[in-house]
Chain A
Amino acid sequence: MDNHNNIHSLEMKFQSKIDAEVKIEPKDWMPEAYRKTLIRQISQHAHSEIVGMLPEGNWILRAPSLRRKVALLAKVQDEAGHGLYLYSAAETLGISREELFEQLITGKAKYSSIFNYPTLSWADIGAVGWLVDGAAIMNQVMLTRTSYGPYARAMVRICKEESFHQRQGYEILISLSRGTEEQKKMLQDAVDRWWWPALMMFGPNDSASTHSEQSLKWKIKRKSNDELRQDFIDATVLQANYLGVKLPDPNLKWNEERGHYDFGDINWEEFWAVVNGNGPCNKLRLKARKKAQEEGAWVREAAMAHAEKRAKRKAEKVA
């Protein structure tokens, strides 16, 4: 068999495994494009967790009660854990965490644009938990069935842990909805600012998405952007009603025929502006990550140097 035929038969075999719902594992043969797509997607996902710590971390020190403070700390800590699981999953594909960090802080790699919006009030922490985590969960539940084994396993763990995140956010909002006029205003204002960016989290419309089709074929993704977005909206309207907040979309209404909510047009211009680095906090977020990475270098080096010294001493003792 010549090389070309060989690759072709490997690809056929690979796709038949995917079709039969057999998971792909790190040492299995995989098309180069599959590996690249996975590295891109998993690392974007990991970066989103890590950058996502920043807007929420912005309120840890100011959390209005000790109960809220520990809940938020634990939640933001989970995001660090989730980033860690995902970087590890990406590392099984032959790229190091350090390279991935480098891609993030040089702006080469993307992360979820939602985290380029600022958290301006305590209500934002509730809104982020409810809407942003709510949207993320839609995506993550789907990804527990993704075709790459390490990614799917990381997602199973993440989904288990995430289950308190959205509840944590929604509970904050319930308190506000039962509070003073000022608190209710704070709640509505946060929902007004986070609703549309949350819908953008699912990415461009299917007709405009460049990666979607192949990702669906490889079962990296299992549902399209538009399907997930619709699922999210359908699930969220009732929760908004309970809070007594108005979702900022005059075109949002139940469509009996479709069995779904209709909704207004998303401002894709804003979406692309934020993706391309012009959101309110893009520079701030990258700067914070870069600072942590650079200022931590001496600590990481020291630990490594000490480990080497210790190993050497141990070896000398044995000899």
Chain B
Amino acid sequence: MQHSGKSPDTCYLIPATNMNQSLINYTLQIADNNLILGQRLSEWCGHAPELEIDIALTNIALDLIGQSRNLYQYAAELEGKGRSEDDIAYLRDSSRYRNVLLVEQPNEDFAYTIARQFFFDVYNHLFYQELTKSKDERLAEIAEKSLKEINYHIRFSSEWMIRLGDGTKLSHEKIQTAVDDLWDFIGEMTLLNDTDREMLSNGIGVDLNKIRPLYFQKVKEILAEATLNIPVEEPFQKGGKNGIHSEFLGHLLAEMQWMQRAYPGAEW
């Protein structure tokens, strides 16, 4: 999925010509993960396997979208052009979205949804733990607040991984398939792109190299408890963080941004 020629960071995204722009890009990178996954989870609302699960998934969606709003508001302030959180969320095309590929993958069924959530929660938990130490006070503060919510997400998704893995024969098969398919997308989360490297060198960003072994350790631990096979390590899909996405994101955005695109400038 790597693009040839110029580095995608300058090719597809707002070029980071200064420190402020890098920080904006970094903030968006975090925010976009939350919004896109929140939007995906929202698709379940009214359709989940049981009422209690419906309510739980929506709670997580609300947490994630709430976190993305805090970050978009911060990005808008950094930008200083008087734009709003909605301008940033609704008026960017997919090539300017910086979320990882994992979060834009479709729901498919409950097993995929849980596996996707679990793979992301483990990363997000480690990431935010580190982000609380950021030199950027605002990011550290947002991380501190979000972490409390993520603690619960990871509990929810881990428990469900174990239930489905160590449940019935059918549930075991379904969750194993989801794990195998989504495994391709989990490497990208802990790979550094230019923005990550610059923010790390400034003491603002998280050291993803430090997180990577912890990430795989935790993932494998839960997979083992869920009696699931650990897929073979293979070259991971990547590109999302640099604006090169799967086909799914365009459709997700088309739906999400429809009103703002159809009625430009209207207030809702």
Chain A CB within 8 A of B232 CB: no
B58 and A298 contacting across the interface, CB-CB below 8 Å: no
Contact of A292 among B49, B255, B258 (CB under 8 A): B49
In the complex, which residue of chain A has the Cβ closest to the Cβ of B256?
A61
* CA distance in complex: A122, B258 (Å): 11
A66, B69: Cβ atoms closer than 8 Å: yes
B65 touches A66 (CB 8 A): yes
Is A201's beta carbon under 8 Å from chain B? Answer: no
B212 within 8 A of A: no
If A62-B255, A64-B260, A298-B171 touch, whether A76 touches B46 (CB-CB below 8 Å) is: yes
CA distance A228 to B166 in the complex (A): 52
Max chain B Cβ within 10 angstroms of own Cβ: one of A84, A292, A298, A309: A298
Q: Contacts of B171 on A, CB cut-off 8 Å?
A: 298-299, 301-302, 305
Chain B residues positioned under 8 Å from A295 (CB to CB): 49, 109-110
> In residues 41-89 of chain B, which contact A (Cβ within 8 Å)?
42-43, 45-55, 58-59, 61-62, 65-66, 68-69, 72, 85-86, 89
The residue from B50, B72, B90 contacting A300, defined by CB atoms under 8 A apart? B50
A175 at the interface (CB under 8 A from B): yes
**Contact of B224 with A by CB under 8 A:** no
- Per DSSP, chain B at the interface is helix
- Does the CB pair B61–A73 fall under 8 Å? yes
Q: How far is the CA of A176 from the CA of B268 in the complex (A)?
A: 7
Q: Is the CB of B61 within 8 A of A182?
A: no
**B45 contacts A57, C-beta separation under 8 Å:** yes
Does B168 touch A at the CB level, under 8 Å?
A: yes
Interface positions of B from 222 to 268, Cβ below 8 Å from A = 255-256, 258-260, 263, 266-268
Instruction: Considering the complex, give the chain A residue whose CB is closest to the CB of B265.
Output: A180
Interface residue from A63, A76, A179 paired with B267 (Cβ < 8 Å)? A179
From known contacts A65-B268, A305-B168, infer whether A299 and B53 are also in contact, taking CB-CB under 8 Å. Answer: yes
Given the complex of chains A and B, what is the CA–CA distance between A83 and B266 in angstroms? 35
B contact residues, total (Cβ < 8 Å):
48
Q: Determine if A302 and B163 form an interchain contact, defined as CB atoms under 8 angstroms apart.
A: yes
* Min CB gap A115→B, angstroms: 11
Cross-chain contact A61 with B62 (CB below 8 angstroms): no
Q: Which residues of A contact B255 (CB under 8 A)?
A: 61-62
Q: B28 within 8 Å of A by Cβ?
A: no
Q: Is A306 positioned at the interface, with any CB of B under 8 Å from its CB?
A: yes
A61-B39, A66-B85 known; A299-B62 Cβ under 8 A: no
The reply to whether the CB of B23 lies closer than 8 angstroms to some CB of chain A is no
Measured between beta carbons, the chain A residues less than 8 angstroms from B110 are: 295-296, 299
Confirm or deny: B203 has a beta carbon within 8 angstroms of a beta carbon on chain A: no
Listed residue (B52, B65, B167) with the most chain A CB atoms within 10 angstroms of its CB: B167
A135 at the interface (CB under 8 A from B): no
In whole angstroms, how far apart are the Cα atoms of A77 and B56 in the complex? 9
A68 within 8 A of B: yes
Contact, CB under 8 Å: B62 / A180: no
Chain A residue, CB-CB nearest to B40: A61
A66 to B268, CA, bound (A): 10
Q: How far is the CA of A41 from the CA of B73 in the complex (A)?
A: 46
Q: Which residues of A contact B65 (CB under 8 A)?
A: 66, 69-70, 73
Answer yes or no: B16 CB below 8 A from chain A CBs. no
A53 proximal to B (CB < 8 A): yes
Can you list 13 A-B pairs with a CB-CB distance of less than 8 A? A50-B46, A70-B69, A77-B45, A77-B55, A77-B59, A83-B51, A175-B268, A176-B268, A179-B266, A183-B263, A301-B171, A302-B170, A309-B166
Residues of chain B having any CB pair with chain A under 8 Å:
35, 39, 42-43, 45-55, 58-59, 61-62, 65-66, 68-69, 72, 85-86, 89-90, 109-110, 162-164, 166-168, 170-171, 174, 255-256, 258-260, 263, 266-268
Q: A178-B267, A292-B46 are in contact. List 17 more A-B contacts (CB 8 A).
A: A53-B45, A61-B39, A62-B258, A66-B89, A69-B42, A73-B61, A80-B58, A83-B51, A122-B268, A172-B268, A179-B268, A180-B263, A297-B49, A298-B174, A299-B49, A302-B171, A306-B163
